[in-house]
Amino acid sequence: MDVDTTAMAAVLNVYRAAGAIRNRLERTVLAPYDLTWTAWVVLWVVWIWGEMETRHVAAEAGISKGTLTGVANTMQARGLLRRRTHPADGRRALLSLTPTGIRLLTTAFPEFNREEAFVTSVLSNDDSVRLALTLRKVVSHIEGAETA
């Protein structure tokens, strides 16, 4: 069997690292706020970019529109997100954070970032920059291949 073990090890370790990071952040930071990783990412995207169309939120969060619908409904019911009809096209919807959602993000984000710093504390600053750029290169390669 012709197997590229270097590629296999790289992909397996990316998968394991992503899972370990997600599990740690869900357990240490998100659980007290009763948030899943996906809910956090959706709230964070809307916090960073401001009010935006649901299809763009889904794309930025890396989730399907169907998954976003469920998460947005839950976050709306909890009073964290607001959904309104797009003024130019009634078939589209816009999401924004409520004041409660903004308070949650401004409270939780420093905690989240402290955990991000813990996760990368075994790396030098140069290693962290290189890792971020390398992973971005992998994502761009995959996304480029999917649109080709």
Domain regions of the chain by residue span:
5-147
Confidence band (pLDDT; 50, 70, 90) for 144? Answer: confident
The b/e string for 23-38 (b: 16+ C-beta within 10 A; e otherwise) is eebeeebbeebebeeb
Query: CATH number for the 5-147 domain, one of 1.10.10.60, 1.10.10.10, 1.10.645.10, 3.40.50.300?
Result: 1.10.10.10
pLDDT tens sequence across 1-60: 999 999 999 999 999 999 999 999 999 999 999 999 999 999 999 999 999 999 999 999
Q: How much is the pLDDT for 145?
A: 87
Which residue do the tokens 């009809």 mark? 85
Asked if residue 90 has pLDDT above 90, the reply is: no
pLDDT tens sequence across 44-73: 999 999 999 999 999 999 999 999 999 999
